Amino acid sequence: MLELTPATKAAITFPLQLGEGPTWDDRPNCLWFVDIMAPALHQLAPHTGTVTSHAMPADIGSFGLTQSQRLLVALRSGVHFYDPETKALELLVHPEPNQPHGRLNDGKVGPDGAFYVGSMDERSPRQPTAALYRIAPDGTVTRLRDGLLISNGLAWSPDGRTMYHADTRANLVSQCAFDPAHGPVGDFRPFCPLDAAMGVPDGATVDAEGFYWSAGVSAACLNRISREGVIERRLHLPVKHPTMPCFGGPGLATLYVTSLTRDGDAGALISLDAGVRGVPEHRFKSA
């Protein structure tokens, strides 16, 4: 395993409370990301450094791109369409309307054009009441996994035939077979355990070579994991608590990483050259 400390740059000039969800949008060539607790959705134009902020009416755990200018946002109040131009919100569905102790967390659009979003329990100690859902373009909700603490780490292999998912507090990344046209096939199985010293798994992405990149939120690092579940490379970062990586910029050659504020370290958005490229984001089929 390679231990590397790459050169990084600050991509924004303001702190994030709980930065998450960086996602490259190749249509306007911008990076979207959220501050969950602000709550706000931010849009960065990397070529100018300009950030446009969109205030949200409730905590925003994640979002997804659609086939139009609208975005799909996972709020505490449910999954909505959001129009950045008009600021209009339109409820699609709430997958967990009767969970007073939880909120929606990590979410992404899959190769099948559905939105996958998980939840988390906010009590202390946390209870295994969280779940992972598939939201079809018509709003149909399917529960894929339950008994979770913090649903996280969603990503897909470049060919769309493997889905990755993590339960952060269970210290485990899992995987399952995936049909790019119809969704998950079979059960999730253990892929890679990650403890606090290694970096418990938070948000994730994949690169064009098929490696899974997991944000080690407890260890100030990114873990690059092979298809066989072996850590091939660990990148040490200047932020204590990284939350999610994504590839963006020209040729998807820049790696962006969000982090959170904790232990005297301000949440940030940083960028670096990881020497590999990413894969394009999927879009929700209905908008």
State pLDDT tens for residues 74-123.
999 999 999 999 999 999 999 999 888 999 999 999 999 999 999 999 99
What's the mean pLDDT when you consider all of the chain? 96
Question: Pairing relation of β-strands 141-148 and 283-284?
Answer: unpaired
pLDDT for the residue 208: 98
Q: How many CB atoms lie within 10 A of CB 180?
A: 15
Beta bridge partners of 93: 79
- Residue 250 pLDDT class (50, 70, 90 cuts): very high
Residues 104/91, Cβ–Cβ less than 8 Å? no
- Using CB atoms within 10 A of its CB, is residue 253 exposed (0-12), middle (13-18) or buried (19+)? middle
pLDDT for the residue 1: 79
- Would you state the structure tokens that stand for residue 128, as one six-digit string? 């295994």
Q: What average pLDDT does range 158-178 have in this prediction? A: 97
pLDDT for the residue 4: 75
Q: How far is CA 210 from the centre of its chain?
A: 17
Structural domain tally of the chain?
Answer: 1
For residue 247, pLDDT over 90 is answered with yes
Domain that holds residue 142: 2-284
In terms of DSSP H, where are the helices of 115-272?
A: none
Measured distance CA(256)–CA(22) in Å, rounded: 7
Q: Which residues contact 172 (CB under 8 A, 6 or more apart)?
A: 166, 190, 191, 192, 193, 194, 201
Give the closest residue to 199 by CA, choosing from 184, 186, 209, 214. 214
pLDDT for the residue 287: 52
CA angle (145 as vertex; 139, 148 as ends), nearest 5? 120
- Residue 17 pLDDT class (50, 70, 90 cuts): very high
* Single pTM value for the model: 0.97
pLDDT for the residue 213: 98
pLDDT for the residue 71: 98
Percent of residues in the chain assigned helix, strand, coil, to nearest 5: 0, 55, 40
pLDDT for the residue 182: 94
Domain at 151, CATH number: 2.120.10.30
Q: How far is CA 106 from the centre of its chain?
A: 5
- Residue 2 pLDDT class (50, 70, 90 cuts): confident
pLDDT for the residue 237: 98
pLDDT for the residue 205: 98
